Amino acid sequence: MSNTGRILAAGALALLLSACASQIDATVSQEPDTPGFLWGLWHGFIFPWSWIGSLFNPDIAVYAVPNKGRWYDFGFFLGITVLGGGSFFGSKKSRGD
């Protein structure tokens, strides 16, 4: 199988699996003090430290529940990938010159 075929197969599998994802309505709240996009961004940025802390302290969570839903999720994703260095470090190419 060629590289392009593998990428297309992985993309199709990811799309198929993501079609099954849903969020329970009880975890989404529209109250004014419910975490939204900016809190999701912050929680995504501090995810590595929150996760380590959650291993030792059951009162520490890496994800706020309830939250505002999709906007919180989008902020959380951006916080992990962009602010957390995920896309920055993954895009560096080694210079073997």
Indicate whether 42 belongs to any domain. yes
- Is 39 domain-assigned? yes
pLDDT, position 5: 86
Task: Provide mean pLDDT across the span 39-48.
Answer: 92
State how many domains the chain has.
Answer: 1
In a domain, 48, yes or no: yes
Q: Are 61 and 54 in contact (CB under 8 A)?
A: yes
Q: Which residues pair with 67 in a beta bridge?
A: 28
- Cα 32 to its chain centre, rounded Å, is 23
pLDDT at 87 over 70: no
Report the distance separating Cα 44 and Cα 63, nearest Å: 8
Does 19 map to a domain? Answer: no
Provide the pLDDT confidence category of residue 26 given band limits of 50, 70 and 90: low
- Would you say residue 16 lies in a domain? no
Task: Judge whether 67 lies within some domain.
Answer: yes
| Structural domain contains residue 70 | yes
What is the average per-residue pLDDT within 88-92?
56
**Which two three-digit tokens encode residue 14?**
């990811």
Phi, psi of 28 (to 5 degrees): -105, 130
Instruction: Indicate the length of the chain as a whole number.
Output: 97
| Structural domain that includes position 50 | 24-90
